[in-house]
Each structure stands twice: as structure tokens, then as C-alpha cells.
Amino acid sequence: MSTLAMPVAVSKVSGLPVLKETSVGNYFVANYPPFGFWKPDHIPALTGVLDNTAAPDTELGLYTHIPFCRKRCHFCYFRVYTDKNSHDIRAYLDACLAELEMYTRKPLIDGRKPSFIYFGGGTPSYLSVEQLQYLTDGMKRLIPWDDAREITIEAEPGTLNDNKLRAMRELGVTRLSLGIEHFDDHILEINGRAHRSKEIRRAYDFARQVRFPDINIDLIAGMVEETDDKWAATVAETIKLSPDSVTIYQMEVPYNTTIYKQMKADGQLVAPVADWDTKRRWVDYAFGEFEKAGYTVATTTTVVKDPRKPFAYRTGLFNGTDILSCGVSSFGYLNGVNYQNQHDFSPYIDVVRSGQLPTFRAYPLSQDEQYIREFALQMKAGSVRTSDFTRKFGVTPHVQFAGALDILDQRGLLEVRQDSIALTRPGLLQVDRLLFEFFRPEHQTGRFA
């Protein structure tokens, strides 16, 4: 048996079979209900909440999507572009600022300051120093950042140098999230990553010299041609760097990826990546190695050096905080309404230039659906405090989800206690599959991409 081996805990959960081979689809639960249920017909619900003022002391987060990349990864399903010139990028940044300005004139946003800010992608670090300064200076004029306790930017190592990292720190970035994914050059190449291991170490050393308060490293378990030995080496290399946190995803093959297109052309039903048991085994191994190195497993995907240091964006997303989202295809959540912007570059810019918000679809959640959304997302943190839900929604999860909790408890996937519900390690490793147990029946078959 491999040194990375772990026993498989279950074969079924309430009639839902455990996925063995990695087939096409996106199973990572990022929201509720699944995006397929968000519709253009629901946009008036967003318009309605924007015309109301926010409840006192309601936190606000700000997300901005930067869709530019040096290269599209073979597993990427996000809205990204590799063919835009500086003129296109300036037009996009202007559109983002114009969109934000329209929101700041709405009663729900007017006068509020964000507690946390997140630049996601794509590759935000693809922007030049001048472009970053232009965007952030414009944003700060519209919605001051002086109360923000966390400002995160995603970065690809090959786009970084000491000058750009120093500029990011001067712009106020407190959390740098490095999309490293792996340390093996062959694995990086065959999966379509733009950077190589030499660029990783150079960028990381620069980032430490600039003294970012928090550096996160992203890894992906189960990439094309991954092996036990290569995964163990990547975990060991990450531990040597000693980042403040590490986020580990399990490889998926959504429909709009290069891998899927190749599978379709070849008539393949099973993706050329590790099966689910293997991916969970690799993540479990990584968790164990990081724990030996002094890290704490903080969520279903994350280990941290200091569990007292919160990741404000994730906490806000999980807890139902208002998140104002700008940029092409980005999605947000305001006063109980999910929404997503136009999916394509030119339509997004054209709508903003016409003086309208670029919302493509929305979904207003009922009180019951808000309960499900927050409970499901908080379970991705590994546990929930039941008293928080009783206080907020008037009913304990023990009652709200009695049937699902009983099934998962009996199968050893979570533990139901008086004031908490906590995933066991086997449950933690397959949480995205288990969360469907808490969904409404009509939402259990929805796609997340």
C-alpha cells in the first residue's frame, strides 16, 4: 500500500452514489442555489433591494473580477481572456469603475465602506503597475478603503517581480494568494499552466521581502499525470516555503475546459485525471503533513498557521455578508439576492457604457433558502455553531435538517453535538457531495458552472 493511502469511508449517502472516476462536471459548491437556477427574470429583485438602505452594522465586501491571463489553463472554467491588448484592458478597467460608480449611487451601497476587498480572476497580477494603480485609485475615490481590514489579490507567479509586488503592498494589499497549483514543471506544463517552478521560488522570495502580512498558496490535488511521489514532493516543497495558509482544491473537469473539449473529441467519458478516492487520499495526506508542520486544518480546503487570523472574504461569503461584485461574469450577494454579471467581454462593456448595471441573472432567496445557503457554506468551514442559526433564523439546524443530519451522522461523516455540527475527516474530504443532502429537492441536480 502507498504511504499516502487512507481507507475509503463510505460507498453511498442516502442513495447518492460515491463518484469513483472523475467525469465531466463541476461539483464544487460555491453558492446556493446552483447557478443554473439564477435567471434574467429575477433581476428586478436586485433592483428592489438596491433601492433600500442597508440594516445598521451590516458588513459590505467588494469583489472585482480581472479576467486577463497569460495563458488559459487546460482545467480552467472561469471567464478569462488571453488576447486583450492595453487598449482593451483600459476599456475594461473603465467599465469596472463605471459599474462601481452606479452602485455607489444606490441607497443600499451609498455611504458604506467595505470591510474586505478581493481581486480575483483570471489573473489580477497580469495588470501592470500603472493599470493596478489606475484601477485602485479610481475605486478608492468611489468607495473609500480606510475601514478595510483585508485586501486580497490573486497572483500567478510568472507575472510578478519585485517592483510589482512592492507596488501591490503600497496599494494596501494585505493578503497575496499565489496560484502555484504544483511544483513539478512537467505537471505544470501538461496542465497548461503558464509558470514554472523557478518563477514560483523567485516570486515567493520577492513577496516575503516586501512583507505581505498574509501569503496563501493554492494547490490542486489530482492534476493530469499526478502521482503519489510528485504530490508528496509538492506538499514538501510547500511546507519548506512556510506560507501563512495553503488552499488545496480537488481537480475537476467542468464542461467549458480544454480537457473536456479533448475528451469530447476523443469520445472519452472519464477524465484523464485521478479518481475521487485518490484525490481525497492525497488531500488527506497533505492535511496530515501540514498538521505535523504545525498548521491547523481550518476549512475543507485550507490549512493555516494561525487559526486566530480570519480570512475575511471567505468568512463574509459563508456568513451571508453583502458582497458587491463588479466585472465580467462576476457574482455577488446583496440583501438576500444572488446576482451575476454579463458573461462576455464586449456585452459587459457595452451595457455599462449605456449607463445600465450589467446584471445578467439573479435569484432572490427566501428565508428558508438563505438558511440553506449559509448552513451549506459554513459547513465548508468544517463545522457550524447551531446557536448562531437558532438566533438568526429562529430554528435550530437539529430540527431544520434533522433527516440529513441523522443519515450523515450514522455514516460517520459528521458529528451532531448540542451546540455544533462538525464534519469528520472523511466527511471533510467529500463535503461538496454531502452538501446536496441539505438542498431543496429541486436544487439537488443543478450545475455550478
**Pairwise pLDDT comparison (448 vs 63), residue with the higher score:** 63
Instruction: Calculate mean pLDDT across residues 372-387.
Output: 97
For residue 81, is pLDDT > 60? Answer: yes
29, three cell numbers: 459548491
Number of neighbours of residue 19 by Cβ within 10 angstroms: 14
Q: Which residue has the cell 452606479?
A: 102
Instruction: Report the mean per-residue pLDDT for the chain.
Output: 92
Over residues 413-440, the pLDDT tens digits come to 999 999 999 999 999 999 999 999 999 9
* Band of pLDDT at residue 261, cut at 50, 70 and 90: confident
The total number of residues shown for the chain amounts to: 449
What's the pLDDT score for residue 447? 58
What pLDDT score does 206 carry? 96
Report the pLDDT value the prediction gives residue 5, as an integer from 0 to 100. 36
Backbone torsion region of residue 52, taken as left when φ is above 0, otherwise alpha when ψ lies between -120 and 50, otherwise beta? beta
pLDDT at residue 3, rounded to an integer: 38
What's the pLDDT score for residue 19? 64
Q: State the residue for C-alpha cell 443600499.
A: 108
pLDDT band at 444 (very low <50, low <70, confident <90, very high): confident
Q: Are 49 and 365 in contact (CB under 8 A)?
A: no
3-state SS string for the chain:
CCCCCCCCCCCEECCEECCCCCECECCCCCCCCCHHHCEHHHHHHHHHHHCCCCCCCCCEEEEEEECECCCCCCCCCCCCECCCCHHHHHHHHHHHHHHHHHHHCCCCCCCCCCCEEEEEECCHHHCCHHHHHHHHHHHHHHCCCCCCCEEEEEECHHHCCHHHHHHHHHCCCCEEEEEEECCCHHHHHHCCCCCCHHHHHHHHHHHHHHCCCEEEEEEEECCCCCCHHHHHHHHHHHHHHCCCEEEEEECCECCCCHHHHHHHHHCCCECCCCCHHHHHHHHHHHHHHHHHCCCEECCCCEEECCCCCCCHHHHHHHHCCEEEEECCCCEEEECCEEEEECCCHHHHHHHHHCCCCCEEEEEECCHHHHHHHHHHHHHCCCEEEHHHHHHHHCCCHHHHCHHHHHHHHHCCCEEECCCEEEECHHHHCCHHHHHHHHCCHHHCCCCCC
Q: How confident is the model at residue 265 (pLDDT cuts 50, 70, 90)?
A: confident
Confidence of residue 446 (pLDDT cuts 50, 70, 90): low
**In the prediction, which pLDDT does 6 show?**
34
Residue range 273-283: mean pLDDT, rounded: 94
Beta pairing class for 420-423 and 383-385: antiparallel
Within 8 A by CB and 6+ apart from 430, the residues are 18, 276, 280, 413
Rounded distance, CA 241 to CA 402, Å?
Answer: 44
% of the chain beyond a pLDDT of 70? 95
Confidence of residue 9 (pLDDT cuts 50, 70, 90): very low
The C-alpha cell that represents 361 in the structure block: 441573472
State how far the Cα of 133 lies from the Cα of 278, in Å rounded to an integer: 43
- Return the pLDDT at 11: 37
pLDDT at 96 over 90: yes
Q: What is the C-alpha separation between 50 and 235, in angstroms, rounded?
A: 45
pLDDT band at 14 (very low <50, low <70, confident <90, very high): very low
Which is more confident, 404 or 310?
404
Confidence (pLDDT) at 26: 80
**CB within 8 Å of 216: residues ≥ 6 apart:** 175, 176, 177, 178, 243, 244, 245, 246, 247
What's the confidence (pLDDT) of residue 189?
Answer: 95
CA–CA gap between residue 320 and residue 334 (Å, rounded) = 9
Q: Which domains does the chain have, with CATH numbers?
A: 31-316 (3.80.30.20)
Query: pLDDT tens-digit profile of 166-216?
Result: 999 999 999 999 999 999 999 999 999 999 999 999 999 999 999 999 999
Lowest mean per-residue pLDDT among 45-59, 250-264, 329-343: 250-264
